[in-house]
Amino acid sequence: MPSRLKIAKPLRATDTAAADIAPASHGRRRALATIAGASVMTLVDPMVRSGAWAAGSDAPEKPEVKIGFIPLTDCASVVMASTLGLDKKYGIRITPSKEASWAGVRDKLVNGELDAAHVLYGLIYGVQLGIGGPKKDMAVLMSLNHNGQAITLSSKLAEKGAKDGASLKALMAKERRDYVFAQTFPTGTHAMWLYYWLAANGVNPMQDAKAITVPPPQMVANMRVGNMDGFCVGEPWGARAIADRIGFTVETTQSIWKDHPEKTLGTTAEFVQKYPNTARAMVAAVLEASKYIDASASNRRKTAETIAAKSYVNTDMDIILDRMLGRYSNGLGKTWDDPDSMKFYQDGAANYPFLSDGMWFLTQHKRWGLLKDHPDYLAVAKQVNRIDIYKQAAAAAQVPVPKSDFRTARLIDGVTWDASKDPKAYADGFKIKA
């Protein structure tokens, strides 16, 4: 039997009370090779290499799966699971499918054109409750990453003195006009980070500004022609705006909420019910890729080189790599090394589908009027976040799991999110809301 896993270090807990991590169950574990190296499959157990998940009924019901993604840095674990052949270890073949917009991802998930997707956390919950699109029972199989998004303001605002939240608010009060800020999907993560940051700086995003929806790869082009004053999006598009000298990073999302949830591996509840072993195999393969990416700087470089290709993110590798390594420049002369940059693994903590994470997005949907009434926050999260599937996959991939399905966080405005208390009171307690 393999020795018990040792955790290198706990989650940082300056602003986030991290869950204690405990080793996963040893059930069905195999000896898995260290994946930082050129010859991945040569060290894998022959039964695994042959495509067997396990004997008999545990074999994947659907050996080929199509997983959608948007051209963003945090699609990396899905892409690398395929390009490194890690999917074969679990008896499936992942075909990454490049999509044009989150609305397109939503529609293709709902109608079955995609088996699963690299997708916004809040999008899955929106579809579950019938906001931001058709209503359908959905599933979050795992979290793909923490951190690594950014809010960008136009260089024109900087020229007028708006270089942080306070000076932006002052400029908006002084020069009254329609200020336009873009997010990527109405119920998605970027909308929630943008709204939260504006509100924390005294700007009501529903009253003092106009919010528009723009697909991630189109953000920079739209800012270039003056269609917006700012946007929130995933990398590498914040860095791209700086490289193109049209904008600057006013805030990173990890500064709003350290180790915040971001993208998920999402699918429909119907898919999980019909293909539970396939769902488990997908998670295990992506967990392997997540380990690989976070294992070393050289692995991150290899990942950046891979996803920079035209078939994936389609931008310069250096634009992707710097922020993957935590090397930040805000475009106004400030540079820093950010220890809380995008994380794909974090000893499994970046991947666990915490119930509290899903509940938080619901509180913000209620805060901003996307939900008219309070849902049963915990019940919805338990239905959507498939912790059962995740834990089975984590055991196979030798990934430690937290002892608790909940974690707490103190956000940029000083307000603490604790799902064990009253989510209704939390959602209603903000001074600025819809």
| Measured distance CA(336)–CA(408) in Å, rounded | 27
Does residue 38 have a pLDDT over 60? no
- Residue 432 located in a structural domain: no
| Measured distance CA(293)–CA(287) in Å, rounded | 10
Q: How large is the greatest C-alpha to C-alpha distance in the chain, in angstroms? A: 69
Query: What is the percentage of the chain residues whose pLDDT exceeds 70?
Result: 87
| Measured distance CA(423)–CA(429) in Å, rounded | 10
- Residue 421 located in a structural domain: no
- Residue 2 located in a structural domain: no
**Structural contact between residues 232 and 194, judged by C-beta atoms closer than 8 angstroms:** yes
Residues 103, 164 within the same domain: no
| Measured distance CA(89)–CA(414) in Å, rounded | 44
pLDDT score at 132: 81
Residues 247, 120 within the same domain: no
| Measured distance CA(406)–CA(19) in Å, rounded | 7
Residues 137, 213 within the same domain: no
Residues 229, 377 within the same domain: no
SS (H, E, C) 215-254: CHHHHHHHHHCCCCCEEEEECCHHHHHHHCCCEEEEEEHH
Residues 196, 284 within the same domain: no
Q: Decide: residue 93, CB within 10 A, 0-12 exposed, 13-18 middle, 19+ buried.
A: middle
Measure the CA angle with vertex 40, ends 23 and 86; round to 5°: 65
At which of 213, 239, 256 does a domain end? 256
At which of 256, 287, 308 does a domain end? 256
Q: pLDDT digit string (tens) for 345-397?
A: 999 999 999 999 999 999 999 999 999 999 999 999 999 999 999 999 999 99
Residues 217, 311 within the same domain: no
Which of 421, 372, 17, 413 is closest to 196 using CA atoms? 413
| Measured distance CA(99)–CA(69) in Å, rounded | 6
| Measured distance CA(141)–CA(266) in Å, rounded | 6
Residue 281's domain is classified under what CATH number?
3.40.190.10
- Residue 427 located in a structural domain: no
Q: 121-129 vs 102-111: helix axis angle to the nearest 10? A: 50
Q: 3-state SS of the chain: helix, strand, coil percent to 5?
A: 40, 15, 40
Task: Give the range of the structural domain holding residue 369, as residue numbers without chain letter.
Answer: 16-146+261-413
Residues 226, 138 within the same domain: no
Structurally, the chain folds into a number of domains equal to 2
- Residue 424 located in a structural domain: no
Residues 161, 116 within the same domain: no
pLDDT score at 79: 98
- Strand partners for 401: 22
At which of 198, 229, 256 does a domain end? 256
pLDDT score at 133: 84
Residues 291, 399 within the same domain: yes
pLDDT score at 57: 72
Residues 130, 159 within the same domain: no
Q: pLDDT digit string (tens) for 236-277?
A: 999 999 999 999 999 999 999 999 999 999 999 999 999 999
Does residue 33 have a pLDDT over 90? no
Which of 328, 179, 320 is closest to 251 using CA atoms? 328
Q: Is the peptide bond before 236 cis (omega within 30 degrees of 0)?
A: yes
State which amino acid sits at residue 229: D
**Structural contact between residues 119 and 68, judged by C-beta atoms closer than 8 angstroms:** yes
Of 357 and 5, more confident: 357
Q: pLDDT digit string (tens) for 91-147?
A: 999 999 999 999 999 999 999 999 999 999 999 999 999 998 899 999 999 999 999
Residues 268, 388 within the same domain: yes
- Residue 9 located in a structural domain: no
Distance linking the first and last C-alpha atoms of the chain: 55
For residue 184, give both structure tokens. Answer: 């990527």
Q: 355-367 vs 377-384: helix axis angle to the nearest 10? A: 130
- Residue 8 located in a structural domain: no
pTM for this model (two decimals): 0.88
Residues 51, 30 within the same domain: yes
- Residue 296 located in a structural domain: yes
